Homo-oligomer: A and B are copies of this chain.
Amino acid sequence: MEITIMKNILDRNNNKADEVRELLSKKNVLMVNIISSPGAGKTTLLERTIEKIGSDIRVGVIEGDVATDRDAQRLKRFNIPLVVINTEGGCHLDSHSISKVLPLFDLDRLDILFVENVGNLICPSQFDLGEAFKLAVVSTAEGDDKPAKYPMLFRDAEAVLLNKTDLLPYTSFRIDNFRSDLGKINAGIPVFEVSCTQGYGLDSWYRWITGQLSSSGRSA
Contact = CB atoms under 8 A, between A and B. Distances in A.
A9 interface: yes
A70 to B, nearest CB: 6
A97 to B, nearest CB: 13
Contacts of A40: 142
A133 to B, nearest CB: 20
Nearest to A41: B143
Contact size class for A? 35 or more
A119 B37 contact: yes
Contacts of A39: 37, 139, 141-143, 145-146
Contacts of A152: 66, 89
Say how many copies of this protein the assembly contains.
2
B120 A121 contact: yes
Contacts of A89: 122, 126, 152
A149 interface: yes
Contacts of A145: 39, 68, 70
A172 B195 CA distance: 13
Contact of A67 (B2, B149, B167): B149
A118 B152 CA distance: 14
Contacts of A200: none
B119 A119 contact: no
A142 B38 contact: yes
A40 B37 CA distance: 10
Contact of A148 (B68, B141, B167, B197): B68
Interface of A: 2, 5, 9, 37-40, 65-68, 70, 89, 91, 118-123, 126, 139, 141-143, 145-146, 148-152, 164, 166-167, 170-172, 197
